């Protein structure tokens, strides 16, 4: 059992059921939440038959909390006293049990796969049109609208594909990802149902509160207003595109919670990395972090900035840095992270031609059987038939023999893989390129594998790497060219902070003066408006970085 820090013990022992825990990346938040649940049980804060509800956003976060809970709460007690779920699992439970009170058929089909994306592919929509459909449906369903009101909202936005797909969904009695929370909110508007859940769950914990949408907060408030522990960090709120509203959510939660406990000691990152993260706090609203054990980090870690003339030079230097690290510490993980995926293509070409292990996080990571079926499907495709079919999804499912797969989990995995293939086709990949991107394994293969990892900042949230290289500190890339309002610019700064905070030993950022467009034309780039803030961290530059690497105590780094 781990000895809790002072802040973690304070969270565990706090008597009031209402609490806000502000815990930046690497400060031991998940451990604190597990301790909080154990404290509830020990004190009888939610006495039987009441249960403690812990809500996360992802399956991975759900599994992480369960794993931490096992250190403090016996499995037999967990089964009787604790419910750990994600938001959509909670919503599905509410719909199944009480849908009738809001006129929703409790036997509604809850889509396990991305049904909306499948419908878009069946209509042969291109990538931009798919995004427009998904956005229209998402916006129409972020309030407690009935199906009729959703249809009216879609009619006003005028997206015909979204209107048709929504009509088909309603006709087939399905609930998609966006419908679940909407239906749950409609059901919980019934006071009797809300009271039932309020009595069933004596205390609630919400992880990553900064990612809440107003709709999700309203659902939690109907169940446990004044009895909820919220944990997270405003500086990591980067999901505005999904409906999250970090500043508004933070204000609402602070009005609900009388007590706030703030963490400031990082157990993940070196002093040098933390200096870079802290340099952005004026923009992100983050808390100044200190290293919990600075003497344990060889040479205090590394923070650096690199300026390049062109992308060829940038790619060569990124590979040289990675090669230096992996030659001396082969078990290390290096995250090359971008805000816009297309900015990664130059480096990807170079590192994938090297002898070092490379992992692209957008590639399909499939179990062996699913990978075999997908490769067989790709080999069977007749390009002329694919081009002429009116039902691309059905064509691929038939080639993959999806209907012959009886095991539910195997069938779901194959259906997801087919959707991934369709996404790659929509992105312009060829059959051979898709086949080359298939990796055999599972998520642990990706999460723990040493080598060079290529990914976007949003995909990497919640992960950690020994070293991080944030590529593309140029206007239009970081911040994204679509960020034109102060609110959007603030979120871009938070995205940069999240990317940097993935690093343990060291973090580098790059700026390149000329970056070709997608069409290949050279385009001069202006240095990011965030660059001057990073200079406050006193980062090393090219020659100094080389000296640091040459003198580094690699045996100690490999063991840390």
Q: What is the pTM of this model?
A: 0.85
Same domain, 213 and 76: yes
- Rounded to 5 degrees, what are φ and ψ at 171? -65, -40
Please tell me the predicted confidence (pLDDT) of residue 231. Answer: 97
Domain end position, chosen among 440, 471, 493? 440
Which domain does 119 fall in, by range? 110-172
Considering the domain boundaries, does residue 100 fall inside one?
no
Please tell me the predicted confidence (pLDDT) of residue 334. Answer: 98
Same domain, 141 and 12: no
For residues 163 and 154, what is the distance between their CA atoms, to the nearest angstrom?
6
Burial class (CB in 10 A: 0-12, 13-18, 19+), 39: middle
Domain end position, chosen among 228, 263, 298? 263
Domain end position, chosen among 263, 283, 311? 263
Find the DSSP H helices in 44-86: 59-69, 75-81
- According to DSSP, the β-strands at 51-56 and 82-86 are parallel
Which own/partner contact pairs does 197-201 have at CB distance under 8 Å and 24+ positions apart?
Answer: 197/94, 197/222, 197/223, 198/222, 198/223, 198/224, 199/50, 200/50, 200/51, 201/46, 201/50, 201/51, 201/52, 201/53, 201/83
Considering the domain boundaries, does residue 499 fall inside one?
yes
Please tell me the predicted confidence (pLDDT) of residue 444. Answer: 59
For residues 200 and 48, what is the distance between their CA atoms, to the nearest angstrom?
9
For residues 344 and 337, what is the distance between their CA atoms, to the nearest angstrom?
8
User: First CA to last CA across the chain, in angstroms?
Assistant: 20
DSSP 328: H
Same domain, 549 and 457: yes
Same domain, 352 and 454: yes
Same domain, 533 and 554: yes
Same domain, 236 and 312: no
Same domain, 306 and 239: no
- What tokens does 204 get? 């609630």
**Pair 162, 133: CB distance under 8 Å:** yes
Considering the domain boundaries, does residue 410 fall inside one?
yes
CA distance to 34, 288, 306, 316, 358, per residue, from 348 (Å): 39, 34, 18, 11, 9
Considering the domain boundaries, does residue 251 fall inside one?
yes
Which residues are within 8 A (CB) of 389 and not within 5 positions of it... i.e. 6 or more apart? Answer: 395
Strand partners, 22: 232, 262
**Pair 479, 529: CB distance under 8 Å:** yes
Residue found by looking up tokens 């059959």 in the block:
431
Same domain, 471 and 529: yes
User: Residue 451 belongs to what H/E stretch?
Assistant: strand 451-456
Please tell me the predicted confidence (pLDDT) of residue 442. Answer: 62
**Pair 136, 146: CB distance under 8 Å:** no
Tens-digit pLDDT profile for the chain (560 aa)? 578 999 999 999 999 999 999 999 889 999 999 999 999 999 999 999 999 999 998 877 888 898 899 999 999 999 999 999 999 899 999 999 999 999 998 789 988 678 999 899 888 898 889 999 999 999 999 999 999 999 999 999 999 999 999 999 999 999 998 999 999 999 999 999 999 999 999 999 999 999 999 999 999 999 999 999 999 999 999 999 889 999 899 999 999 998 999 999 999 999 999 999 999 999 998 889 999 999 999 999 999 999 999 999 999 999 999 999 999 999 999 999 999 989 999 999 999 999 999 988 877 677 788 888 999 999 999 989 988 888 888 899 899 998 888 776 677 788 888 888 888 887 788 888 888 888 777 655 667 889 999 999 988 888 899 999 999 999 999 999 999 999 899 999 999 999 999 999 999 999 999 999 888 899 999 999 999 999 999 999 999 999 999 999 999 999 99
Please tell me the predicted confidence (pLDDT) of residue 191. Answer: 97
* Cis amide prior to 49 (ω within 30 degrees): yes
- Of 222, 211, 202, give the one whose Cα is nearest residue 91: 222
Residue 471 C-alpha from the chain's centroid = 19
Please tell me the predicted confidence (pLDDT) of residue 409. Answer: 66
Residue found by looking up tokens 């960090």 in the block:
233
Same domain, 74 and 130: no
CATH of residue 227's domain is 3.40.50.300
Considering the domain boundaries, does residue 105 fall inside one?
no
Considering the domain boundaries, does residue 475 fall inside one?
yes
Same domain, 82 and 122: no
Strand partners, 352: none
Considering the domain boundaries, does residue 102 fall inside one?
no
Domains of the chain: total: 4
Same domain, 429 and 524: no
Same domain, 153 and 212: no
Considering the domain boundaries, does residue 253 fall inside one?
yes
């Amino acid at each position: 059992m781990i000895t809790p820090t002072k802040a973690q013990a304070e969270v565990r022992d706090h008597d009031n059921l209402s609490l806000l825990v502000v815990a930046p990346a690497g400060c031991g938040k998940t451990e604190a939440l597990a301790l909080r649940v154990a404290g509830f049980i020990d004190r009888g804060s939610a006495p039987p038959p009441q249960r403690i509800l812990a809500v996360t956003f992802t399956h991975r976060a759900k599994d992480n909390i369960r794993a931490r809970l096992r250190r403090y709460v016996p499995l037999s007690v967990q089964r009787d006293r604790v419910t750990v779920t994600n938001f959509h699992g909670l919503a599905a439970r509410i719909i199944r049990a009480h849908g009738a009170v809001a006129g929703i058929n409790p036997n509604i089909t809850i889509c396990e796969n991305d049904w909306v994306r499948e419908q878009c592919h069946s209509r042969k929509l291109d990538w931009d049109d798919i995004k427009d459909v998904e956005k229209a449906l998402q916006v129409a369903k972020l309030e407690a609208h009935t199906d009729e009101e959703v249809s009216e909202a879609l009619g006003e936005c005028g997206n015909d594909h979204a209107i048709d797909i929504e009509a088909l969904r309603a006709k087939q009695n399905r609930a998609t990802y966006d419908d679940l929370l909407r239906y749950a909110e409609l059901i919980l508007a019934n006071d009797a149902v809300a009271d039932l859940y309020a009595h069933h769950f004596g205390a609630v914990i919400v992880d990553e509160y900064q990612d809440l949408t107003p709709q999700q907060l309203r659902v939690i408030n109907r169940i446990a207003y004044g009895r909820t522990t919220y944990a997270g960090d405003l500086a990591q709120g980067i999901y505005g595109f999904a409906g999250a509203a970090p500043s508004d959510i933070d204000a609402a939660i602070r009005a609900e919670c009388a007590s706030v406990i703030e963490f400031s000691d990082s157990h993940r990152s070196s002093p040098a990395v933390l200096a870079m993260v802290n340099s952005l706090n004026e923009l992100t609203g983050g808390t100044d972090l200190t290293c919990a054990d600075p003497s344990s980090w060889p040479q205090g870690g590394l923070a650096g900035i690199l300026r390049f003339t062109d992308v060829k030079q940038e790619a060569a230097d990124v590979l040289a840095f990675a090669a230096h690290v992996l030659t001396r510490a082969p078990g290390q993980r290096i995250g090359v992270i971008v805000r816009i995926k297309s900015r990664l293509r130059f480096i990807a070409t170079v590192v994938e031609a090297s002898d070092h292990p490379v992992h692209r996080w957008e590639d399909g990571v499939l179990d062996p059987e699913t990978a075999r079926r997908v490769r067989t499907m790709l080999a069977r495709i007749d390009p002329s038939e694919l081009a002429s079919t009116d039902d691309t999804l059905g064509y691929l499912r038939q080639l993959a023999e999806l209907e012959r797969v009886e095991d539910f989990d195997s069938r779901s995995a194959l259906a997801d893989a087919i959707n991934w293939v369709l996404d790659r086709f929509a992105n312009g990949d060829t059959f051979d390129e898709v086949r080359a991107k298939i990796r055999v394994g599972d998520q642990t293969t990706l999460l723990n594998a040493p080598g060079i990892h290529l990914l976007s900042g949003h995909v990497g949230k919640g992960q950690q790497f020994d070293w991080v290289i944030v590529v593309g500190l140029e206007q239009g890339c970081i911040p994204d060219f679509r960020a034109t309002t102060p609110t959007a610019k603030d979120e871009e700064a938070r995205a940069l902070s999240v990317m940097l905070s993935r690093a343990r030993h060291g973090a580098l950022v790059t700026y390149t003066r000329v970056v070709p467009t997608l069409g290949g034309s050279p385009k001069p780039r202006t240095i990011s408006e965030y660059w001057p803030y990073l200079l406050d961290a006193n980062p090393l530059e090219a020659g100094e970085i080389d000296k640091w690497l040459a003198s580094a105590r690699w045996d100690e780094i490999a063991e840390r």
